[in-house]
Amino acid sequence: MSQAVGVKRIDILIEGATIISPGLGGSDEKMAVVDEGAIAIDGERIAYAGPSPAPLEFRNARKRIDASCLIALAGFVNTHTHAAMTLLRGYADDMVLMDWLNKKIWPIEAHLDSEDVYWGAMLACVEMIRAGVTTFADQYFFMDDTAKAVRDSGIRACLSRGLIATSPDSSQALRENIELCQTWDGAANGRITTMLGPHAPYTCPVDFLEKVMEAAEELGVGMHIHLSETLGEVEESRAKHGGMSPIELMDSIGLFGFRTLAAHCVHVSAKDIEILSSKGVGVAHNPGSNMKIASGVAPVPAMLRAGVKVGLGTDGACSNNNLDLLEEARLAAFLHKVANNDPTVIPAEQALTMATLGGAKAMGMDSDIGSLEPGKKADIILLDMNKPHMYPKHDLTSHIVYSARASDVTTVIINGELVMEDGVLTGIDEQEVLQTAEERAKALVRKA
Ligand code: NI
């Protein structure tokens, strides 16, 4: 095509894709489907998303991508994980939660060093990019090294240092979390944001949480916390705190005055749901982890009806055991259908919304990510629909949730950069990541 003289040169033009996105010409709840679509990317942001051909002003592109036979979606948002736990994938399965933590996970984590965390997080980033995850929320330790992996891999993440007040180094851990926020917030061209990471109410007493809230106030950051994951934790809270659930307790101390991302929320009452909704708390629903550890079934349909911002998460790779958010979308749809004995619960469209815009809202990032709308950051994935399991094309939204696989993702753009093109990671030596992670994981097990 001839280059129009005097028209601004944009960076990337995707042509011919079937665009499926909430928000685009419709409501946040409704998926818009544009059959012959075009997306123009200017710098870090989407300049145009709509019918092809794009308006003349967006056609002079440095790079053009022919996306006929491809579906364009907003990148998936993994709202809860512990990235470096990829090193422990398959190390301890099929155990009771407290045995699993006390006998296997915590003893081996005591031997982890910063290099391990870097390579474990790199493995996680490679796995997530391949699965179309463009943003994740993380809570772990040696977070400088996770931040370096995010920087080096090209993915987007919101990072927090896990804080356990009952451990002897809790003051040091809080200092590290504060330094993480000071050093990394806005780094890697804005791809890295930060939060404080009080692990859970049962590991962080109120006096410690008050210190965390003071720091949050000073730094202007939010919280990433585990809430009401198991029934035992809720019963213990009610016994210790005058009948209050963990969510009521957090509300009573003012934690929800800060932007909060709450992982799990499995055992929640009607009153808890009302608090989560009225305080705008984001919920990270982890159906795979909740099923594998037998934590229970979060009342997600009730939360969504009450207007709670629910996104999806994988949790760490040793309670899942992968970081495939598309699988979580399918598990969420299936789990709540069988749990409610109602196949109309969590239809495909709602599951896909939770995997994208719902997650962005839960993380307080929906002004920048979660849908393919002009002005938003260009976090875009392309899926190959020329696969046997994608035919016939009755309903592509249904196909994405019920039939597509992570391996259908061919191309990933994050912050306007091509991070994976036609199945090849552009900035990472993938074999080096896989081999180094394998070596470090084997050495770790020898130390335990
Ligand atoms: Ni977790």
Give residue-wise pLDDT tens across range 293-336.
Answer: 999 999 999 999 999 999 999 999 999 999 999 999 999 999 99
Q: How far is the CA of 262 from the centre of ligand 1 (A)?
A: 10
Q: How far is the CA of 336 from the centre of ligand 1 (A)?
A: 21
Give the whole-angstrom CA distance, residue 206 versus residue 393: 54
Please state which of the ranges 90-104, 285-299, 314-328 shows the lowest mean pLDDT: 90-104
Q: How far is the CA of 1 from the centre of ligand 1 (A)?
A: 50
Q: How far is the CA of 319 from the centre of ligand 1 (A)?
A: 9
Amino acid letter at 358? G
Q: How far is the CA of 284 from the centre of ligand 1 (A)?
A: 10
Give the whole-angstrom CA distance, residue 144 versus residue 141: 8
Neighbouring C-beta atoms of residue 134, cutoff 10 Å: 30
Q: How far is the CA of 410 from the centre of ligand 1 (A)?
A: 29
What pLDDT score was predicted for residue 343?
98
Q: How far is the CA of 82 from the centre of ligand 1 (A)?
A: 7
Q: How far is the CA of 298 from the centre of ligand 1 (A)?
A: 15
pTM over 0.95: yes
What pLDDT score was predicted for residue 6?
62
Check whether domain 76-362 has CATH 3.20.20.140, yes or no: yes
> Taking 60 as the threshold, does the pLDDT of residue 252 lie above it?
yes
Q: How far is the CA of 421 from the centre of ligand 1 (A)?
A: 31
What pLDDT score was predicted for residue 401?
98
Size (the chain), residues:
448
Q: How far is the CA of 162 from the centre of ligand 1 (A)?
A: 10
Please give the torsion angle defined by the CA atoms of residues 123, 127, 129 and 130, in that order, rounded to the nearest 10 degrees. Answer: 140
> Taking 80 as the threshold, does the pLDDT of residue 99 lie above it?
yes
Q: How far is the CA of 390 from the centre of ligand 1 (A)?
A: 33
Coil, strand or helix at 291: helix
Neighbouring C-beta atoms of residue 110, cutoff 10 Å: 9
Main-chain dihedrals φ then ψ at residue 40, nearest 5 degrees: -110, 135
Give the whole-angstrom CA distance, residue 149 versus residue 17: 31
What pLDDT score was predicted for residue 400?
98
Give the whole-angstrom CA distance, residue 155 versus residue 151: 7
Q: How far is the CA of 86 from the centre of ligand 1 (A)?
A: 13
Q: Are 73 and 45 in contact (CB under 8 A)?
A: no
Please state which of the ranges 148-152, 166-170, 173-177, 189-193 shows the lowest mean pLDDT: 166-170
pLDDT digits (tens, 9 = 90+) for 356-372: 999 999 999 999 999 99
The H or E element containing residue 310 is strand 309-312
Give the whole-angstrom CA distance, residue 42 versus residue 154: 17
Average pLDDT of the chain?
96
Q: Are 401 and 353 in contact (CB under 8 A)?
A: no
Q: Where do the domains of the chain lie?
A: 10-74+369-425, 76-362
CA dihedral sign, ordered 381, 386, 391, 394 = positive
Tokens of 294: 């037998």
The band of 23, judged by pLDDT with boundaries at 50, 70 and 90, is: confident
What pLDDT score was predicted for residue 7?
76
Instruction: Give the percent of the chain with pLDDT over 90.
Output: 93
Q: How far is the CA of 247 from the centre of ligand 1 (A)?
A: 17
Q: How far is the CA of 97 from the centre of ligand 1 (A)?
A: 12
Nearest to 321 by CA among 273, 289, 343: 289
Fold (topology level) of 10-74+369-425 = Urease, subunit C; domain 1 (2.30.40)
Nearest to 333 by CA among 354, 317, 318: 354
> Taking 80 as the threshold, does the pLDDT of residue 354 lie above it?
yes
The H or E element containing residue 309 is strand 309-312
What pLDDT score was predicted for residue 448?
84
What pLDDT score was predicted for residue 98?
82
Q: How far is the CA of 140 from the centre of ligand 1 (A)?
A: 9
The alpha carbon of residue 54 and the mean position of all alpha carbons in its chain are separated, in whole angstroms, by 31
Bridge partners, 299 (sequence order): none
Strand 76-81 versus strand 260-264 pairing type: unpaired
Q: How far is the CA of 348 from the centre of ligand 1 (A)?
A: 25
Q: How far is the CA of 197 from the centre of ligand 1 (A)?
A: 11
> Taking 60 as the threshold, does the pLDDT of residue 197 lie above it?
yes
DSSP annotation of 406: G
Bridge partners, 417 (sequence order): 414
In the Cβ-directed half-sphere of 226, how many Cα atoms lie within 13 Å?
A: 24
Bridge partners, 34 (sequence order): 19
Coil, strand or helix at 236: helix
What pLDDT score was predicted for residue 1?
45
Tokens of 360: 């962005």
Q: What is the mean pLDDT of residues 22-42?
A: 89
- Residues bordering ligand 1, an ion, CB closer than 5 Å: 315
Q: For 34-50, give one letter per residue: b (16+ CB within 10 A) or e.
A: beebbbbbbebbbbbbb
pLDDT digits (tens, 9 = 90+) for 202-212: 999 999 999 99
Q: How far is the CA of 313 from the centre of ligand 1 (A)?
A: 9
Q: How far is the CA of 323 from the centre of ligand 1 (A)?
A: 13
Q: How far is the CA of 263 from the centre of ligand 1 (A)?
A: 7
Tokens of 418: 């091509």
What pLDDT score was predicted for residue 2?
47
pLDDT digits (tens, 9 = 90+) for 145-161: 999 999 999 999 999 99
Q: How far is the CA of 87 from the centre of ligand 1 (A)?
A: 15
